[in-house]
Structure 1
Amino acid sequence: MVVSSGITEAVGGAKAQDRTVDLFQGALVGHSTDTAIGRGLTELAAAAPLEGRRAFFLLPLLSNLAASTAIAMSDTNQSPLQLQPLLQRAAWLRKLYFTRAAFSFVWVALAFTVAKGSPVVASALLVVYPAWDALANLWDARMTGGAKANPTQVLNAWISALVTVAVAVSLGLKLQLILAIFGAWAIVAGLLQLATAIRRRKSDKGQWVMMLSGAQSALAGGFFVAQQGSAAPVVQTFAGYAAVGAVYFLISGLVILFRKAKGEAGDFVSEQG
């Protein structure tokens, strides 16, 4: 009888230890739940009166240790993954803003120099500007989530493409409607830019500058419409608008650049919460 009882206790203890290991492994991979652990504890208490009960008291400590380790490992692995796309997006927007600023500055320089003595260059500049804006908006939408995530940029691109065609037709037919066309375009494009900046303000730096730029564009559009029919030179009148827009893009790019230089990359993650 003594031998039989010893064998029974030994078998029970072995089963309890095996069960403890199983539950501990389950906790590490995230499969154990409160219900499962409670059921396992009950089985241990019933199956192993001696060794099983000893393991019974150790199981909560092992489970807590496993959960803490899993959480710590998860946090360590996820932080870089969360940070990297945000930093890439910031770098992309900085590149976009600097590129658009550079293009506009070059366009303005040509408008006030070469275009003054060349009607062909002046006409070409008037067609190129909205065409470039359409391309830039499509580029922006593609690199920041696609068309579904950026409806305002896609709509802005289509409108800029239509304006390009309208300007080319007006120049070809000598309709003298350029300022009116550019004015209407500046109003709509400014409002769309404002909407884009408002949508991005919580996730991207420098958007307060883009809000100002969009509002200013809408106001300038009204001025262009009012100037239609006057003797004001079309290219030089619009060049002032383009120059202000270039400054806005430059400031936005610098805001993102200075944030990076100060090592504030952590803000990109904290502001997502």
Structure 2
Amino acid sequence: MSTRTATQTGRTAGGRSSLLRLYLSRGILALAWALAFAGAHEDVDAAAITLLVVYPLIDAASSLIDHRATLDGSERRVTAFNGVLSTLAALALGIAGAGGTVPVLHVFGAWAVVSGAAQVVVGLRRRGPELGKQWPTLISGTLSFLAGITYNVQAAGGNPSLDVLSVYATGGGVWFILQALLLALKSRQLRTGTV
């Protein structure tokens, strides 16, 4: 094996390990957030608004970590875009929280649509022999996109509720953890040569 090939293999293995930790941490944080928000959103008060701001900031921090671990290319640009988008979403949710449930659903829904689409793009670019099929990432991104549309429809309806946001975060957390487990399985297969 050439030095260049060995270096690329090491980077790929390191990238896979970094993504595994990132996805697992992101999933656990999403589940913890969902649990906290489920008990704090009856009124859109300071505690609820703080949690609303924190959720996209978790995504922004994850995007930054992912961006730093990703080699140059379009995938890296998409993670940078998603980090900026999530930071702006956090600011917008902080402002929207003062207006109550309807503006929060509109802002969260718009963010879910765009960030879901970005997640699908990243999942498609990561499909391959080293990082697997990325099905959990693709499904999660698609569901985020569809959920965002639904939230905006619900916000325009007669009975808007923030209950859906805990469900959203729970689903996202489960998909991130599943993707981490599949990456761990892929790493094991590549180590043992059973792919």
Q: Give the structure-1-normalised TM-score.
A: 0.63
Distance, in Å, in 2 between the alignment partners of 1:246 and 1:103 is 7
Secondary structure (helix, strand or coil) at the match of 1:179 reads helix
Counterpart of 1:217 in structure 2 is 144
Structure 1: segments with no counterpart, 5+ residues? 1-74
Structure 2: segments with no counterpart, 5+ residues? none
Of structures 1 and 2, the one scoring higher in RCO (CA 8 A, sep 6+) is 2
Distance, in Å, in 1 between the alignment partners of 2:44 and 2:102 is 18
Matching residue within 50, 55, 59 for 1:133: 59
Alignment of 1:223-238 (within 5 A): 223-229=150-156, 230-234=158-162, 236-238=163-165
Alignment identity in percent? 26
Equivalenced residues, count: 192
Alignment of 1:160-199 (within 5 A): 160-174=86-100, 176-199=102-125
The AA in structure 2 aligned to 1:105 is L
Contact preservation (8 Å) 2:106, 2:151: yes
- Using the TM superposition, give the Cα deviation of residue 164 of structure 1 relative to its aligned residue in structure 2, in angstroms: 1.1
Instruction: Determine which structure has more spread, i.e. the larger CA radius of gyration.
Output: 1
The AA in structure 1 aligned to 2:142 is A
Counterpart of 2:33 in structure 1 is 107
Contact preservation (8 Å) 1:94, 1:256: yes
State whether structure 2 residue 176 is matched by structure 1 residue 249: yes
The AA in structure 2 aligned to 1:169 is I
When the two chains are superposed, the root-mean-square deviation of aligned CA atoms in Å is 2.5
- Using the TM superposition, give the Cα deviation of residue 149 of structure 1 relative to its aligned residue in structure 2, in angstroms: 5.3
Distance, in Å, in 2 between the alignment partners of 1:83 and 1:165 is 40
Return closer, same or farther for 1:148/1:201 CA change in 2, 3 Å cut-off: closer
- Using the TM superposition, give the Cα deviation of residue 123 of structure 1 relative to its aligned residue in structure 2, in angstroms: 1.6
Please identify runs of 4+ aligned residues in structure 1 that moved more than 6 A.
Answer: none
Q: Deviations over 1:140-181 (max 9, x none)?
A: 111112586511111111111111111111223558401011
